[in-house]
Chain A
């Protein structure tokens, strides 16, 4: 079984500042993938970043990076130089083996001008 926990229902950040969204997970699989998805008001789910568990190096995508702590089962998302367009709901997710993907409950991020 897999679980994904996002303990921050809502967060806010000033434009151009840095914010970190938390996520912890649990899985019995040895080979698994972790994801962060963004859902803006348009409702379209967009992949932000993906991490393969066997890779120790933290994934980065432009202003987005993760802090993957495998032993602690932690997978936080850091957004640098926050922009108004980053305002959205962010979901953390995990998938191992052929198990279905499991999503957290989401963190609503508001970027303040």
Chain B
């Protein structure tokens, strides 16, 4: 696709439910990132995929959070047993050496846990 696509754009869920957030990176981009951004805050790194290398999961805040990526395409971020503090925008980004390492962001998935 032309840009990084994320779905859903908005998600309201009840505390304790599981949610899945999807990211379609730009075609051919080998690197993919997930970030969390709470209201008025900076970017909180969650996970980084680079090609076929083992992902860098050092930013995942708890074992309730996990992410998968199929080859160099779609990624899914899963949050289990959601808590109110999980409410945030979840941003996905992708990049490649061919694009001069520029990181392109999606519009984000707004998650509200009630």
Contact = CB atoms under 8 A, between A and B. Distances in A.
A12 B91 CA distance: 27
B102 A35 contact: yes
B95 A106 contact: no
Interface stretch (B16-24, B43-51, B63-71, B77-85): B43-51
Contact of B42 (A33, A47, A106): A106
Interface of B is mostly: strand
Interface residues of A, number: 21
Given A43-B89, A100-B48, A50 B100 contact: yes
Contact of B33 (A50, A52, A100): A100
B38 to A, nearest CB: 12
25 contacts: A33-B100, A33-B101, A35-B102, A37-B105, A43-B108, A44-B107, A44-B108, A47-B104, A50-B100, A89-B42, A91-B42, A91-B43, A100-B31, A100-B33, A100-B50, A100-B56, A101-B33, A101-B93, A101-B95, A101-B103, A102-B45, A103-B42, A103-B43, A106-B42, A106-B43
